[in-house]
Structures are given as C-alpha cells and as structure tokens.
Amino acid sequence: MAESKTNFDVVIVGGGPGGYVAAIRASQLGMKVAVVERDKLGGICLNWGCIPTKALLRNAELYNLMNNAEEFGITVKDLSFDFEKVIKRSRKISERISKGVEFLFKKNKIEHISGFGKINEKGKVGIYKKKEDKKPEKTLTAKHIIISTGARPRSIPDVDIDGKKILSYFEAMVPKEVPKSMIVIGAGAIGVEFAYFYNAFGTKVTLVEMMPTILPVEDKEVTKVVADKFKKSGMDIHTETKVEKIDTSGKGVKVTVSGKDGKKQDLKADVALMAIGVQGNIVDIGLDKVGVKTEKGHIKVDEYYRTNVDGIYAIGDVIGAPWLAHVASHEGIVCVEKIADAETHPINYDNIPGCTYCQPQVASIGLTEDQAKEKGYAIKVGRYPFRVHGKAIAAGETDGFVKLIFDSKYGELLGAHIVGSEATELIAELGMAKTLEATKEEIVRTVHAHPTLAEAIMEAAGDAYGESIHT
C-alpha cells in the first residue's frame, strides 16, 4: 500500500464518542487522520449505550403515559405493545446515528480503517482482522497515536456473564421477549435505567445495590424520590446488600445476597442483569510493548491526556472515571487541540454533569450537600418542588424538585441537583452557570420565561436566600 495511505498525523484507535470527536476536531485543525474501529462508528455509546437506550426509555415513558391517559381526559382502549417493534425502533435509531458519523468522516476526509488496532511500536499501529491474529494485515505510522478503546461490562468475581441467564447491557437491549422477572445487580445509572424500562413493560424487577441508596453518587434527597417512585411502581429494592453468589443451574437464576445485618436470602428470577459498572479495554492493544503505564485497570495520563510515552495519548473510558460519553468527547477535543498547539484548556472535572434517564429523570453537577459540608463549606441550600410549579402541574409531571447549593461566603454555586421531568435538559443552564462561576444573584436576576420548568431553577436559587416567590 502506498505510504500516503498508511502514514498519518494522528491515528486514533477506537471510534466511539471520544475517538470520532477527536478525529473530527483534528481534521478541522488541518491534520491527516485515521480512525481504527473494528465495529460500527460511534462505539458503545451510539450503538449499544447512550442513544439506543434512550430510544427504549422513550418507549417505556410513552407506554406509562398511555396507561395513565385518563388523568388527561383521554380514553385508551385495549392498550398493548409489540415488544419486537420496540427493540427494532431502538436498533434503527442506532444505525441511523452511526451512519451519520460515517457521513461526518467523509465530510472531514477522515480515513476509517476497519479492524483491531494494536500499538506494535512507538509511532506504529498494526491493523488485525481478528484480535488474536499474530501478524497485522497492514501497519499505520503516525507521529501521534490516541488510544480511545472504551470499556466493557464488569462482573463480580467468579461470575461469568453468559448472555442468557446473566445479562450485560448488550443482551438487555435486544431481548426477544419480555422476561417475567429480573434481578438488576447494581443500581447506578445503567441499572436504574434498565430497571425502569423493564418494569414499564411488565417485568417484576428487583434492584440490588451494595451502597446505602440507589444512584449512590447522587444527593440523598434525590435518590429517595426515585426509590419511592420505583417502589410504588412495584419494584423491590435492596440497598446495603451484597451479592454472595449466583446459581444458574435451575430454570432461572438464584442470587444469594446478604444484608447489612449479615443475614442471607435467596432472590429468584428468570434472568439477572449485571450492572455494576465497566472496565477499560486496555488488554491486548500493545501497551506493554511500548511501556505505557497503567494503574488500577486504566491508563495514566496528564491533564492533556499524554501518557508517559511521547506521542501516545489516551482518552475516554480507558483512563478511568467518569465513564461518560460527553467527557470522552471533550477529552478528545482538548487532546488534539494540544497536539496542534491550538488554544485549549484542561477540563474542570468538578463541572461535569451526570444524567440518569429513568422517570423521574435525575441530573446533577458539582457537589452534593454532604460533600459540600465534608469539604468545610458554610452553605445555603435552596429547594423548589415541582408539585407547586405551574408548568409541572399543567404537564402532569409533579414529582421531584430542584436543589441548589451555594457557598454562604461568596454566593458561588457549588452544586445543583434536579429530579423530575426533563431534568437532563434543565441541567444545562446550571452547567453554564457553574462554568461561569455564577452566584445566586445572577441566577435569580436572569429572567426565565413563564411558564417553563426552568423557572424552578430561579425559584430554588431564591429559596436559598429566603427570596423564593412561589413557596
């Protein structure tokens, strides 16, 4: 193959939300770019995570809404669903978005090379048809190599995810039928979203979480709202509960758990979903050959995503938490801007929004109330419930609230937490506010359109200082 087709300024191994965004930005900056991706462009996020799961959750939301249509004076007779079509819609949306990335590659003259990429030596990436192959089909050369190989589902010790009785999110997204019962192990964002989805379509769901609350990284007041809503919908929730073993020898699964008191019990269901998190794909990509340092299962990098080996960088899930698509994308942009000597700034990881797309939705940024206190801040906390909010009442979406945490001394916004309808959209205003180091005064004095759910943000800010008008 001609050298011009194998020699690049930047070669990116992995075409997920970190890799493909980095590629586009690098091309915009005038670099010749290749992306090595064994599967469809878009990675787990576009093909098996962020986008298709939100399609499934939208189906669940609509089905729940139709089941409660009488509240709006609408009669729906003989309501039913076609689960095969529910799944097909999700897959079609995923394919559409992936093809959109292919178009962007062509538009930006980015080379997409199909295969497994491994760093064989500094400045060289071998392309393999199969991961276990010893000899590469071809070798790419580049001054800069960015590792963006993403992550895979993690399991508990001595438990294999067989894809039949013990599922990962891969299998949970494409079932042939709705299971009658499911045990979800892990109540972080992934576990909670799937619990909501399957419960909506009639599965008896049991959530098991080691930590004291579901969604353990969120503010405690927020998690209580979601837990109460889930319990009302028929879910069983076991917190501070550890999985001891899983038995798949019978018809379904038997999960033995132990509670805070040490007592064991057996939970039974048709299937179990393993949702305890992910681990970076750092094995068999050549890190040992070039001496790239890793730590606790992820690649060590500096604030501009440079590894200890000159010319090799890493972004996204392979460098550890937070395992979020939007974080990977921004890391990719900062990384290539630094490579190009363009103006850029390190990411402030204190300003990363987190979102969970069940109903009610959850979104947050910054410190929880407990974290702010632990850090020694004197704080003012404002809350505004949707149950008294005009737009929320009109929409029939009165669950939840907005909670804002301010530094008493300077009035700076330290943390924002929303649980309720459209929380994942509303958080953007607070992300901007926090980036600009906004104070209560600036939020309250910003005129919010009426009637909107966003007014609740203004009201919560006012409440922190005794100025809320509608509470």
Three-class SS of residue 103? Answer: helix
DSSP of 144-213, one letter per residue? EEEE---EEE---TT----SSSEE-HHHHTS-SS--SEEEEE--SHHHHHHHHHHHHTT-EEEEE-SSSS
Active site residues: 450
Burial class (CB in 10 A: 0-12, 13-18, 19+), 304: middle
Q: How far apart are CA 461 and CA 128, in angstroms?
A: 55
Q: Are 148 and 119 in contact (CB under 8 A)?
A: no
Q: How far apart are CA 89 and CA 62, in angstroms?
A: 14
Q: How far apart are CA 221 and CA 19, in angstroms?
A: 36
Q: How far apart are CA 116 and CA 329, in angstroms?
A: 21
Q: How far apart are CA 349 and CA 332, in angstroms?
A: 14
The pLDDT tens digits of the residues spanning 240-263 come to 999 999 999 989 999 999 999 989
pLDDT at 400 over 80: yes
User: Taking the domain 360-464, which CATH number applies?
Assistant: 3.30.390.30
Q: To the nearest whole number, what is the mean pLDDT of the chain?
A: 95
* Per-residue confidence (pLDDT) for residue 132, from 0 to 100: 87
The answer to which of 6-15, 38-47, 337-346 has the lowest mean pLDDT is 38-47
Q: How far apart are CA 288 and CA 294, in angstroms?
A: 9
Burial class (CB in 10 A: 0-12, 13-18, 19+), 93: middle
Task: For residue 124, give every residue at least 6 positions away whose Cβ sits within 8 Å of its Cβ, in sequence order, or none.
Answer: 139, 140, 141, 142
Task: State the amino acid at position 295 in one-letter form.
Answer: E
Q: How far apart are CA 417 and CA 354, in angstroms?
A: 10
Q: Which two tokens stand for residue 123?
A: 């400045």
* Per-residue confidence (pLDDT) for residue 1, from 0 to 100: 43
Q: How far apart are CA 196 and CA 145, in angstroms?
A: 40
Q: Are 7 and 141 in contact (CB under 8 A)?
A: yes
Rounded average pLDDT over 426-455: 96
Task: For residue 423, give every residue at least 6 positions away whose Cβ sits within 8 Å of its Cβ, in sequence order, or none.
Answer: 355, 360, 361, 362, 363, 400
User: Taking the domain 3-151+279-349, which CATH number applies?
Assistant: 3.50.50.60
The pLDDT tens digits of the residues spanning 40-93 come to 999 888 888 899 999 999 999 999 999 999 999 999 999 999 999 999 999 999
Task: State the amino acid at position 378 in one-letter form.
Answer: A
pLDDT at 149 over 70: yes
* Per-residue confidence (pLDDT) for residue 397, from 0 to 100: 96
The pLDDT tens digits of the residues spanning 275-298 come to 999 999 999 999 999 999 999 999
Q: Are 455 and 448 in contact (CB under 8 A)?
A: yes
pLDDT at 204 over 80: yes
pLDDT at 446 over 50: yes
The domain 166-276 is placed in CATH, from the list 3.50.50.60, 3.40.50.12280, 3.40.1010.20, 3.40.50.12780, at 3.50.50.60
Domain ranges of the chain: 3-151+279-349, 166-276, 360-464
* Count of helix runs (H) and strand runs (E) in the chain: 14, 24
Rounded average pLDDT over 153-161: 91
The pLDDT tens digits of the residues spanning 11-37 come to 999 999 999 999 999 999 999 999 999
pLDDT confidence bin for 4, thresholds 50/70/90: low
Judge whether 3-151+279-349 and 360-464 match in fold.
no
